[in-house]
A = this chain, B = another copy of it.
């Protein structure tokens, strides 16, 4: 009867306890019959490399293909890289064209050619049609198994035609109406087919205001079109207007989820499609690059402080308070930066409203600058019994929070214009600037005041 879906956690725990008890038979049964392919993938993604190998070996070859398509790129590449052409072929035979093409793209070019060469002509041509387009475009996402009908037939004929199928392609919500030359002229939603008089023709009731994608539409644009029009599927056309295939919502959901996660991971200098359980060396190597970039930034900041070594030597209290100025600037700037990155991603920011945003951020930054400058000044005066020090840190705070607001607003816009991902490099750039400005303002004012 009806299934109450188990939570992710429950499923993991059930399998983990079977694993711990060492009951291989039970694990094997769960992997091959007890769990859906998507859950097996989830389980593999939640397992460290060595145990993952063992689990993978227990999955029956017929099921491996379906499990593979749900795995993150990292793990796909690993498993696929060790397969023979025969194994790859038998996996391809069980998948949709678009899923096969997705998996093939993880392989080196020579291997792709060998697998394609071993396929039947019809199958190869279908896969090649998808492979012809970059993975992150509508063409790379599309499926080629569409049901098309002709405009001049009646709905009764359409129904008889459908009954000749054993099943319709997954997520079929509408039938595409094409001319003899595969030019798309409309579509007939199943819900409309079912409520209409069987004697009228397709042309009379088909919907003609359809939203189409071209094969080279970028996947982020595809996702935004699906969201705007609440679509379940959308047809993909070639550049000369011929119907190539269709994209379904399940593939788009993946794009939407990955897109949002991408920004978050980028902000920490990470790849979005990374294996959570990547081995030490791969993890270490990938992170080293980001730490290196950051070291350059930190060295710049350190050089800026170096100009004021004499002042610090005389008043060590400055070194004690320094981090407060820079940290408040960094936090204020990051908030502005995050709001801007989100605003750009949502398409809210344009040439015309940028000035309004800069002014808003400058005003909000000034308000918070003055507020927290007063608080920090009081802390400094109480702690070091030095009124001048309070004035200096208050001024530095205001300068730094206003700079942070300005820089946080403009950096993402400038990076975007230079076609650099603002989420990736915006943070390092911002904190380098706020650190330098904060330290120079604070230590520079101190040098002036105390001499």
Contact B232 A171 (CB under 8 A): yes
Contact of A47 with B by CB under 8 A:
yes
Question: A224 — nearest CB in chain B belongs to which residue?
Answer: B8
Question: A165 — nearest CB in chain B belongs to which residue?
Answer: B195
Using known A-B contacts A13-B350, A194-B159, A331-B290, determine if residue A357 contacts B298 with beta carbons closer than 8 Å: no
Contact among B292, B297, B309 for A372, CB-based, below 8 A: B292
Main secondary structure of the interface of A (DSSP, over half): helix
Contact of A332 with B by CB under 8 A:
yes
Contact of A116 with B by CB under 8 A:
no
Interface size on A, residues (CB 8 A): 145
Give the contacts of A283-327 with B (CB-CB under 8 A): 283-284, 287-288, 290-292, 294-295, 297-299, 301-302, 305-306, 309-310, 312-313, 316-324, 326-327
Contact B191 A168 (CB under 8 A): yes
Contact among B8, B227, B270, B319 for A335, CB-based, below 8 A: B270
Give the contacts of A185-201 with B (CB-CB under 8 A): 185, 190-197
CA distance A434 to B27 in the complex (A): 42
How many copies of this chain does one complex carry?
2
Which stretch of A36-44, A80-88, A121-129 is in the interface? A36-44
CA distance A119 to B435 in the complex (A): 58
CA distance A316 to B337 in the complex (A): 33
Give the contacts of A1-22 with B (CB-CB under 8 A): 1-5, 7-9, 12-13, 16, 20
Contact B184 A2 (CB under 8 A): yes
Contact of A269 with B by CB under 8 A:
yes
Contact A353 B260 (CB under 8 A): no
Contact of A114 with B by CB under 8 A:
no
Contacts of A295 in B (CB 8 A): 324, 328, 372, 375-376
Contact of A263 with B by CB under 8 A:
yes
Contact A350 B16 (CB under 8 A): yes
Contacts of A309 in B (CB 8 A): 316-317, 319-320
CA distance A212 to B232 in the complex (A): 20
Contact A435 B323 (CB under 8 A): yes
A149 to chain B, nearest CB (A): 12
Contacts of A211 in B (CB 8 A): 2-3, 5
B-contact bits for A82-104, CB 8 A (1 contact / 0 none) = 00000000000000000000000
Contact among B47, B249, B294 for A353, CB-based, below 8 A: B47
Question: A319 — nearest CB in chain B belongs to which residue?
Answer: B319
B-contact bits for A335-364, CB 8 A (1 contact / 0 none) = 101110011001111101100110011011
CA distance A83 to B87 in the complex (A): 64
Contact A328 B298 (CB under 8 A): yes
Question: A338 — nearest CB in chain B belongs to which residue?
Answer: B268
Contact of A267 with B by CB under 8 A:
yes
CA distance A106 to B317 in the complex (A): 50
Contact A195 B353 (CB under 8 A): no
Contact B338 A265 (CB under 8 A): yes
Contact of A414 with B by CB under 8 A:
no
8 CB-based A-B contacts, threshold 8 Å? A253-B253, A260-B260, A261-B342, A265-B342, A267-B267, A276-B342, A277-B357, A323-B435
Apart from the given pairs A2-B184, A288-B372, A323-B435, 15 other A-B contacts in the complex at a CB distance below 8 Å: A45-B348, A167-B192, A171-B230, A232-B249, A253-B256, A261-B263, A265-B338, A269-B331, A276-B346, A277-B357, A288-B368, A295-B372, A301-B327, A309-B319, A312-B312
Q: Which 9 A-B pairs have the closest CB atoms?
A: A260-B260, A8-B347, A319-B319, A268-B338, A230-B250, A168-B191, A313-B316, A284-B364, A276-B343
Give the interface of A toward B (CB within 8 A): 1-5, 7-9, 12-13, 16, 20, 36, 38-39, 42, 45-48, 159, 162-163, 165-168, 170-173, 184-185, 190-197, 208-214, 221, 224-230, 232, 237, 249-250, 253, 256-257, 259-261, 263-265, 267-270, 274, 276-281, 283-284, 287-288, 290-292, 294-295, 297-299, 301-302, 305-306, 309-310, 312-313, 316-324, 326-328, 331-332, 334-335, 337-339, 342-343, 346-350, 352-353, 356-357, 360-361, 363-364, 367-368, 371-372, 375-376, 379, 383, 431, 435, 439
